[in-house]
Amino acid sequence: MKLSDSTESDEGIADYYEEVLGRRWLLSKRKIGKQLISFVEKHAQARGYTEVELNVNRRNPAYYFYLKSGFKVHQEINIPYHAYVLDDYIMRKTISLQN
């Protein structure tokens, strides 16, 4: 996940989040995903950001989790990666001061 106009230290938090989600360390349906999203949003808000962004593969069921978490599809993107193409959505969520 990336924060708009993010700095190197923000990327550290974002990388940590991505590492945890991406490596399937989570046990499903335990609200851990929801808590991680909330953690990132609070961090972003504290730094004055108003939007967060992530990439998810278009066939990943996690897409529905992100929709439920308030993200919207911003763009479809096909990223060449060695012999493959990563067919992703870029999803964004506006974070309000009340969150």
Ligand X SMILES: CC(C)(COP(=O)(O)OP(=O)(O)OC[C@H]1O[C@@H](n2cnc3c(N)ncnc32)[C@H](O)[C@@H]1OP(=O)(O)O)[C@@H](O)C(=O)NCCC(=O)NCCS
Q: Are 95 and 51 a contacting pair, CB within 8 Å?
A: yes
Residue nearest to ligand X (CB): 33
SS3 of residue 55 by DSSP: strand
Give least dist CB 38 to ligand X, A.
9
- Least distance from ligand X to the Cβ atom of residue 48, Å: 25
Binding site for ligand X (CB under 6 A): 21-22, 24, 26, 28-34, 56, 60-62, 64-65, 68
Nearer to ligand X, 27 or 97 (CB): 27
Could you give the 3-state DSSP secondary structure of residue 50?
Answer: coil
50-30-16 Cα angle (round to 5): 50
